């Protein structure tokens, strides 16, 4: 700063250098009489009255020279006094000009000018407003109430509708100053309004940029008493306003560009966030942080309206200090300002003094001086509120601040809306996923290129690839797809692929899946293309049913019918032949002996048929659980012995040998059914040992159970069918079509009987050199005592 010049001290710090002539009024208006001149020069009315009484201000009739002499003398004296004041004031103006030259901070310019203005011009209030054409508002840039600094915040915190300040508008339009010396009497005045603000004298001056566009007003006010506005007051006020206008329009231009740039970047970052982010919290936190930062607030929060729309509840916050300051939920019914902001869908700065009800308590509990309430509106709906809190003062917000705030609020509302939509969509997706997951049908979805995008659990299980449900991309159904006859199915023949790529629909296409472990599943699939709302093909879906069991049952039935018809037909043919033979012999030879032998052989075949039918009936009973047992203590060893003798009687080629451990082998059982099991095992051993060989039976105690092993030296059982031996109607691949008769019922029935006795029947060992079946039965309690 420059040091003080050598000028005499006028009781202030202002310096006289650098006076710019443009601020000096050339002369007073020429046509005045002394009384008028005195008035204009601001001579106090009491002084003028005194002059009148002293005859210094003679009536019109008084001689002109006399008048002029007195007048000239007084005017000269007054002008001198005034000159000093004007000079001092001009120096002050220059000082202000210096202070604000080069300042590009709007607020700083306004504050400097306004504070200087109340010193230079006097007055109780001074303010600078900028015009917001769009909103039809005067937006306060800075205002000061000298007598009541605390009310400054109240008066200059919020924009004023242009219609509520008509004199401001006049000043704006006419360019020159509007001076209302007494608001009670002036014809342009609206006394009721001025009374509210306790304003008796008011000056408004339009602010114009270098392009002569009016962008604001500077106002001066005197409270309580009317003030006798002097010409030089107006002149000084105009000088200050002109000064402010130049500085402000520069600062505005700069600030606009500067702020626009940074804010545009911020907004675009947040817009990107909103459009890409799934995280509501992050987006809102970023938005509120930008808001707080850009508006120079101390802290901020975003509150969302609750579900029944009765209150807003803090969602995210950003703060400068202290523990969480989000505060208690605000009931809208008890928060009139918030409710109004929500309803009008316009932000508003609410100072502590204006806060009401719950808001007031909220302000006080958080020690907030002022808060900018920004409504978040999505699709015309009030979805929440952003708060920017000021802890120490009430800020001055500009048009740009409001623009920025609004843009940010819109983005926040969008983010909220978007996340809610996403949530709703993901709930629906989860529901769908649950349904698809629980389906007892396989579902595979592919995109329009045939790439797998979804495999449900059931489908993954069908293919024996449980991980496919989690990682569809690694799933290749073509790898394990075959035609039902076993030929591999090429990938581009898969119905789902054809549906996706060619739009073909396929129903009940049968296909065989061969899993990694070699097991086979028969599936029937329905594939159809997925078509978007605009007719575009998006992909395809195939639904797979497991028809393995159905196919198996069908095969079983065919199998069963062919076996049964064959097995029954063979003895019938024999019976028919024997019958014919017996008839002929009786007719022709009258021989009795060969006929009796034929009848015996017929009886044997009939018995065989009987036992076949009995087996069929038993199989049916076994299936329906109606195989009744008559339990009683049975000597197993005796039973085995008899069975061996019976079996030995049927064959001469086989030697049946039975070894038994000592001790008792009593079991609680149905002797007839147990005989059936033994006969079955023995007849299989004989049947499936076509060459002469030994059949060995051993009976032992093992783990307090009776264990009988039946070993033969027969054909053995091939690996592929071993696990199905005990299924009804199953016959080994090595015996089917090789002349071994049978219906595949024996082992199934025998196992079922063993299990009904609390025991087991298993194939213990098998090889091309023979097989061993193991029958385990629990010993009866008496047997233990007997032993
Ligand atoms: P069936 O003997 O009437 O075919 P089973 O239920 O008794 O029916 O036997 C089922 C299958 O088990 C037979 O078809 C045969 O393939 C096999 N099997 C049973 N016992 C033996 C055995 N001792 N040696 C070889 N294969 C056997």
| 65 has a pLDDT exceeding 50 | no
Residues 6+ apart with CB under 8 A from 471: none
CA of 564 to the centre of ligand 1 (A): 16
Among the atoms of ligand 1, which is closest to the Cα of residue 710?
23
Q: Whose CA is nearest to atom 15 of ligand 1?
A: 732
Q: Residue 4 has what pLDDT?
A: 38
Cβ atoms of residues 211 and 190 within 8 Å = no
pLDDT 10s digits, 273-329: 666 655 677 778 878 888 888 888 888 888 888 877 777 777 677 765 555 666 677
Q: Both tokens of residue 496?
A: 């789902």
Neighbours of 748 (CB within 10 A): 22
Distance CA 751, CA 757 (A): 10
CA of 738 to the centre of ligand 1 (A): 12
Q: Residue 281 — left, alpha, or beta (φ > 0 → left; ψ -120 to 50 → alpha)?
A: alpha
Q: Residue 117 has what pLDDT?
A: 86
Q: Residue 695 has what pLDDT?
A: 96
Among the atoms of ligand 1, which is closest to the Cα of residue 742?
3
Question: If pLDDT is split at 50, 70 and 90, which confidence band does 633 have?
Answer: very high
Q: Residue 278 has what pLDDT?
A: 57
Residue 206 DSSP SS3: strand
Provide the greatest CA pair distance for the chain.
195
Residues 6+ apart with CB under 8 A from 668: 631, 632, 633, 634, 757, 778, 780, 781
Among the atoms of ligand 1, which is closest to the Cα of residue 736?
14
Of the two residues 774 and 310, the one the predictor is more confident about is 774
Q: Residue 68 has what pLDDT?
A: 45
Q: Lowest-pLDDT range, 29-38, 195-204, 232-241? A: 29-38
Q: Whose CA is nearest to atom 17 of ligand 1?
A: 732
**How large is the average pLDDT for residues 6-26?**
33
CA of 706 to the centre of ligand 1 (A): 23
CA of 727 to the centre of ligand 1 (A): 11
CA of 747 to the centre of ligand 1 (A): 7
- The preferred substitution site among 564, 723, 747 for testing ligand 1, maximizing ligand atoms within 8 Å of CB, is 747
Question: If pLDDT is split at 50, 70 and 90, which confidence band does 69 have?
Answer: very low
What is the crossing angle of helices 746-756 and 671-687, to 10°? 150
Among the atoms of ligand 1, which is closest to the Cα of residue 716?
25
Q: Both tokens of residue 467?
A: 């991980």
Length of the chain: 787
Neighbours of 15 (CB within 10 A): 19
Question: If pLDDT is split at 50, 70 and 90, which confidence band does 121 have?
Answer: confident
CA of 684 to the centre of ligand 1 (A): 6
Q: Whose CA is nearest to atom 11 of ligand 1?
A: 731
Among the atoms of ligand 1, which is closest to the Cα of residue 721?
16
Using CA atoms in the order 43, 46, 48, 51, what is the torsion angle rounded to 10 degrees?
A: -130
| 90 has a pLDDT exceeding 70 | no
Q: Residue 377 has what pLDDT?
A: 85
Of the two residues 66 and 115, the one the predictor is more confident about is 115
User: Model's pTM, two decimal places?
Assistant: 0.40
CA of 767 to the centre of ligand 1 (A): 14
Instruction: Say which residue the tokens 């005989």 belong to.
Output: 675
Q: By C-alpha distance, which of 356, 348, 406, 332 is closest to 376?
A: 406
Q: By C-alpha distance, which of 191, 220, 190 is closest to 205?
A: 220
Q: Lowest-pLDDT range, 46-55, 116-125, 221-230, 233-242? A: 46-55
Using CA atoms in the order 193, 199, 202, 204, what is the torsion angle rounded to 10 degrees?
A: -60
Of the two residues 499 and 243, the one the predictor is more confident about is 499
Cβ atoms of residues 748 and 622 within 8 Å = yes
| 542 has a pLDDT exceeding 80 | yes
CA of 700 to the centre of ligand 1 (A): 24
Q: What is the mean pLDDT of the chain?
A: 80
Q: Whose CA is nearest to atom 19 of ligand 1?
A: 684
Within 6 A (CB) of ligand 1 lie 680, 684-685, 688, 712, 714-717, 725, 731-732, 735, 742-748, 771
| 758 has a pLDDT exceeding 70 | yes
| 518 has a pLDDT exceeding 80 | yes
Q: By C-alpha distance, which of 418, 339, 319, 419 is closest to 385?
A: 339
DSSP states along 413-482: HHHHHHHHHHHHHHHHHHHHHHHHHH-SSEEEEEETTS-EEEE-HHHHHHTT-GGGGT-GGG--GGGGEE
- The preferred substitution site among 691, 732, 745, 751 for testing ligand 1, maximizing ligand atoms within 8 Å of CB, is 732
CA of 766 to the centre of ligand 1 (A): 12
Q: What are phi and psi of 4, to 5 degrees?
A: -65, 140
| 28 has a pLDDT exceeding 60 | no
pLDDT 10s digits, 682-718: 999 999 999 878 999 999 999 989 999 999 999 999 9
Q: By C-alpha distance, which of 268, 259, 264 is closest to 295?
A: 259
Q: Whose CA is nearest to atom 14 of ligand 1?
A: 731
CA of 271 to the centre of ligand 1 (A): 77
Q: Residue 663 has what pLDDT?
A: 92
Q: Whose CA is nearest to atom 20 of ligand 1?
A: 684
**How large is the average pLDDT for residues 512-529?**
91
Distance CA 683, CA 467 (A): 48
pLDDT 10s digits, 367-422: 889 999 999 887 778 888 888 999 888 888 877 788 788 888 887 787 777 777 77
Q: Both tokens of residue 421?
A: 């939509």
Q: Which parts of 625-663 fold into alpha helices (H)?
A: 636-650
Element (H, E) at 373: strand 370-378
Measured CA angle at 141 (ends 135, 146), to 5 deg:
130
Q: How far is CA 208 from CA 23, 86, 254, in A?
A: 17, 24, 16
| 12 has a pLDDT exceeding 60 | no
| 513 has a pLDDT exceeding 90 | yes
Q: Residue 676 has what pLDDT?
A: 93
pLDDT 10s digits, 134-188: 778 888 888 888 887 776 666 677 788 888 788 888 888 876 789 998 999 888 8
The 3-class secondary structure across 112-150, one letter per residue, is: HHHHHHHHHCCCCEEEEEEEECCCCEEEEEEEEECCCHH
**How large is the average pLDDT for residues 502-522?**
90
Neighbours of 16 (CB within 10 A): 15
Of the two residues 18 and 469, the one the predictor is more confident about is 469
Strand order in the sheet with 693-702: 654-660, 693-702, 705-711, 770-778, 760-767
**How large is the average pLDDT for residues 353-369?**
88
- The preferred substitution site among 562, 567, 682, 688 for testing ligand 1, maximizing ligand atoms within 8 Å of CB, is 688
pLDDT 10s digits, 555-590: 777 777 777 777 788 888 888 888 888 888 888 877
Q: Residue 35 has what pLDDT?
A: 64
| 29 has a pLDDT exceeding 60 | no
Q: Residue 645 has what pLDDT?
A: 95
Q: How far is CA 114 from CA 9, 144, 476, in A?
A: 24, 7, 79
Q: Residue 62 has what pLDDT?
A: 38
Q: Whose CA is nearest to atom 16 of ligand 1?
A: 732
Q: Residue 161 has what pLDDT?
A: 83
Q: Whose CA is nearest to atom 13 of ligand 1?
A: 731
Q: Residue 749, CB half-sphere, CA atoms under 13 Å: how many?
A: 26
Q: Residue 102 has what pLDDT?
A: 61
Residues 6+ apart with CB under 8 A from 206: 171, 172, 173, 174, 175, 176, 214, 216, 217, 241
Q: Residue 26 has what pLDDT?
A: 33
Q: Residue 7 has what pLDDT?
A: 38
């Amino acid at each position: 700063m420059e040091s003080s010049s050598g000028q005499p001290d006028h009781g202030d710090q202002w310096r006289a250098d650098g006076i710019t002539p443009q601020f000096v009024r050339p002369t007073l208006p020429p046509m005045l009489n002394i009384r008028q001149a005195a008035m204009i020069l601001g001579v106090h009315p009491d002084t003028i009255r005194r002059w009148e009484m002293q005859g210094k201000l003679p009536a019109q009739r008084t001689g002109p020279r006399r008048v002029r002499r007195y007048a000239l003398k007084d005017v000269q004296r007054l002008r001198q006094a005034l000159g000093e004041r004007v000079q001092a004031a001009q120096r002050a103006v220059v000082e202000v000009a210096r202070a604000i030259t080069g300042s590009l901070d709007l607020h700083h310019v306004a504050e400097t000018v306004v504070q200087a203005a109340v010193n230079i011009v006097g007055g109780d209030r001074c303010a600078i407003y900028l015009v917001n054409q769009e909103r039809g508002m005067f937006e306060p840039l800075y205002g000061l109430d000298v007598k009541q600094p605390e009310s400054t915040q109240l008066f200059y915190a919020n924009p004023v509708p242009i219609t509520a300040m008509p004199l401001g508008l006049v000043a704006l339009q006419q360019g020159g100053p509007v001076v209302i010396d007494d608001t009670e009497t002036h014809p342009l005045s609206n006394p009721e309004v001025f009374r509210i603000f306790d304003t008796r004298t008011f000056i408004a001056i339009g602010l114009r940029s270098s392009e002569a566009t009016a962008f604001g007003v500077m106002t001066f006010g005197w409270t309580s008493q009317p003030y006798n506005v002097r010409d030089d007051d107006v002149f000084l006020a105009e000088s200050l306003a002109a000064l402010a206008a130049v500085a402000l329009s520069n600062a505005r231009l700069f600030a606009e560009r500067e702020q626009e740039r940074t804010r545009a970047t911020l907004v675009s970052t947040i817009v990107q966030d909103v459009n890409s982010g799934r995280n509501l919290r992050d987006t809102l936190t970023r938005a509120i942080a930008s808001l707080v930062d850009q508006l120079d607030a101390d802290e901020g929060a975003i509150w969302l309206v609750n579900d029944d729309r009765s209150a807003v509840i803090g969602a995210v916050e950003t703060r400068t200090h202290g523990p969480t300051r989000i505060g208690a939920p605000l009931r809208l019914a008890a928060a009139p300002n918030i409710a109004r902001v929500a309803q009008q869908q316009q932000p508003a700065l609410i100072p502590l003094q204006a806060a009401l009800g719950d808001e007031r308590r909220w302000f006080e509990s958080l020690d907030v001086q002022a808060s900018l309430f920004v409504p978040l509106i999505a699709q015309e709906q009030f979805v929440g509120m952003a708060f920017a809190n000021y802890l120490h003062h009430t800020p001055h917000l500009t048009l740009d601040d409001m623009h920025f705030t609004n843009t940010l609020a819109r983005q926040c509302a969008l983010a909220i809306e978007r996340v809610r939509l996403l949530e709703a969509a993901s709930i629906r997706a989860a529901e769908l996923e649950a349904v698809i997951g629980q389906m007892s049908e396989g579902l595979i979805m592919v995109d329009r290129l045939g790439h797998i995008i979804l495999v449900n659990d059931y489908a993954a299980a069908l293919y024996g690839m449980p991980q496919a449900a989690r990682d569809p991309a690694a799933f290749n159904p073509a790898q394990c797809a075959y035609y039902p006859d076993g030929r591999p199915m090429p990938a581009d023949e898969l119905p789902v692929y054809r549906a996706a790529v060619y739009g073909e629909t396929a129903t009940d296409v049968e296909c065989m899946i061969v899993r990694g472990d070699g097991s086979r599943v028969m599936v029937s699939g329905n594939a159809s293309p997925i078509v978007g709302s605009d007719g575009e093909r998006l992909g395809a879906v195939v639904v797979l049913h497991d028809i393995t069991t159905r196919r198996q049952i069908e095969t079983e039935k065919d199998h069963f019918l062919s076996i049964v018809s064959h097995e029954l037909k063979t003895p019938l043919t024999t019976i028919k032949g024997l019958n014919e033979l017996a008839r002929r012999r009786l007719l022709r030879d009258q021989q009795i002996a060969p006929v009796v032998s034929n009848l015996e052989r017929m009886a044997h075949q009939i018995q065989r048929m009987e036992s076949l039918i009995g087996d069929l009936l038993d199989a049916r009973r076994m299936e329906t659980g109606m195989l009744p047992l008559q339990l009683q203590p049975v000597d197993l060893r005796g039973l085995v012995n008899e069975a061996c003798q019976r079996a030995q009687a049927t064959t001469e080629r086989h030697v049946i040998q039975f070894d038994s451990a000592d001790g008792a082998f009593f079991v609680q059982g149905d002797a007839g059914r147990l005989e059936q099991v033994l006969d079955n095992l023995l007849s299989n051993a004989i049947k499936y040992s076509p060459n002469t060989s030994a059949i060995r039976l051993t009976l032992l105690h093992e783990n307090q159970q009776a264990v009988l092993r039946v070993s033969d030296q027969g054909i053995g059982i091939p690996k592929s069918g071993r696990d199905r031996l005990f299924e009804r109607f199953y016959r080994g691949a090595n015996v089917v079509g090789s002349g071994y008769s049978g219906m595949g019922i024996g082992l199934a029935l025998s196992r079922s009987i063993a299990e009904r006795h609390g025991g087991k029947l298993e194939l213990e060992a098998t090889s091309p050199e023979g097989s061993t079946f193991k029958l385990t039965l629990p010993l009866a309690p008496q047997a233990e005592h007997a032993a």
